[in-house]
Amino acid sequence: MDRCSTRLIGLVLSGAVCATAVAGDAAAPRWLSFPADAPLRATVTLLPKQGEVGRETAIFTGYAPQLAFRPGTAEVTCRFDLGDTGLEPGTTRTVGIDCFEALKVREDALAFTVLQGGRKVGTGVLLR
């Protein structure tokens, strides 16, 4: 047992709390929350069609895929604002994003996968 555990066992009845910080430990990541329909910006790469991944055609304003921010997290549906021009497969650019529901992401995990019908069609990173 480490020193903190030993002290904790001895002090648990008195309600004392023992915590140790190990050199190099990172602080807990912060969470960022965005309400539904909050205007967001992201850099998005639309992947070219390769087997089960990517798209053959461009996307335009109004395209509403699902975004997955980390494996195992719920997907959120968002609408892309691409202005007057589309985004062709194989290209990257900054786009506007409006999510239909509230979004909560870790500050250190702003990357996401763009999904269409459960299939990966792109990648992106939220801009702050």
pLDDT digits (tens, 9 = 90+) for 82-121: 999 999 999 999 999 999 999 999 888 899 999 999 999 9
In one-letter notation, the amino acid at residue 67 is: L
**Which of 59, 58, 78, 57 minimizes the C-alpha distance to 67?**
78
In the chain, % of residues over pLDDT 90: 66
What pLDDT is stored for residue 59 in this prediction?
A: 98
* 35 phi, psi to nearest 5 deg: -70, 160
Strands 76-81 and 92-99 come out as antiparallel
What ranges do the domains of the chain cover? 27-127
pTM value is 0.76
Q: Please state which CATH class domain 27-127 belongs to.
A: mainly beta
| pLDDT grade for 29, boundaries at 50, 70 and 90 | confident
* Residue that wins the pLDDT comparison between 28 and 118: 118
**Is residue 1 predicted with pLDDT exceeding 60?**
no
CA atoms within 13 A of residue 74's CA, in its CB half-sphere: 7
